[in-house]
Structure 1
Amino acid sequence: MIDKNWRFPYCKFVGKQSDTVGGVAQERRDFIKAGLVATAAAVLPGFATGAIGAAQPRVKNVLIINAHQTYPGLSEGALNREYVALIKNEMDKKGYRTQQTYIEKGYNINEEVQKHLWADIIITQSPVFWFGTPWLYKKYVDEVFTAGMSQQSFLIDDGRIANDPSKQYGTGGKLHGKTFLLSLTMNTPKEAFDDPAQRLYAGRSLEDLFSSTTAVYKFCGFAILPVFGSFDVIKAPQIAEDKVRLKRSLAGL
């Protein structure tokens, strides 16, 4: 005769077995997950310190160009050096990698080409001499960009195609995804710009007057940021306030 009570302990056993099986399965899942994390940590630097799939901020490369040209007793370059130091400090605080070129101290053309290719952001700090940047900076740009053109690394051509009128002049650049900022120190007061009543500039903006400088970079594919101006630096300087404004301009880079 079959004992009717035998099913009860069996049911209890099945329950315990189910718990055991479930525990083993959970342990196996945990083991596999740990293995995946360990593998990812080995393959992807920094993986273990962040959440799975979390985007890490990209470290950018910044080239800072000091375009000052010295005129002894008249323009020694101290203010522009201060601004270059400020720019580098702000980029360092972001964790960006920086290189610098001080044009007046000399440069190698091919090395400057490589710096432009390396950089995500290029910032030129320059005084305004006779309503433009110093001729030494224009010489630098002519030499470096001509070399970049000859090597076909900065641009292919001017962008136009004979059988396609939609391809505009100035669309042949290869340096897309890069950003250019021109920062200027000048004796000109801010009120001289953007005002049709002003005799000299007759309503033209800072961007209008320095488009010949920024257009070189735009021609090669750079995005151009608004020109930064430190105004009236001889007759009515407000350097502390200007530095605060410059920091704000750099904050979004």
Structure 2
Amino acid sequence: MKYILLVEDDLSLISGLSFAVKKAGYGLDIAHTKSEADEIWEDGKYDLVILDVSLPDGSGFDICKSIREISKVPIMFLTARDEETDVIMGLDIGGDDYITKPFKLAVFISRINALIRRSDNFNQADVELSSGGITIQLLKREVYKNNEKIDLTANEYKLLCLLMENSGQVLSPEQILGKLWDCNEDYVDSNTLTVYIRRLRTKIEDNPGKPERIVTVRRMGYKWNSVE
């Protein structure tokens, strides 16, 4: 059985979510505050963490940052805060999905299923990706360029993995967004993707102004080109 940690302080919402999650076949632990979450969190104990952003004693963003220091467990933000800056911040610090209230329980469970399924597929992948002088140590979530470690945000890392796993294939913006983020398209759209591509290029390209690894294919999308 897969286990989920839900960090939420709205008692009326917890009741409905608990019923839906357990009916879907998942085990569930609930924390009402950041301190409760810190007490029961254990790396390897959960298959998914669902975080409300606003908590009585802190922020779901802070919990996410702490978890990301030691774990790659999927993280979903569940919140009434739907500002673009909040969505992008949640994704940048390591969130995998961002769903805003109100929402339909069927959509909520579908998002849970998708996150856990993608996590299972990722864990079955090879332990290393290497192409064009870039090496990804998947188990450590570390990236090296010509044997020198480079720092990436969580979403830059996921984007790089996706491109390198599909080396030589053109991926449309819709394909990339669909595989990496399940968030509201009003916020995580092709313009947001362009920002992530530009950031990633500044870190892995020899000349970001003339990229050779992440190539733009006009009117089609992006392609990883193995540079030897």
**TM-score, normalisation: structure 2:** 0.39
- Which is helix-richer, 1 or 2? 1
**TM-score, normalisation: structure 1:** 0.36
- Which is strand-richer, 1 or 2? 2
* Bigger radius of gyration among the two: 1
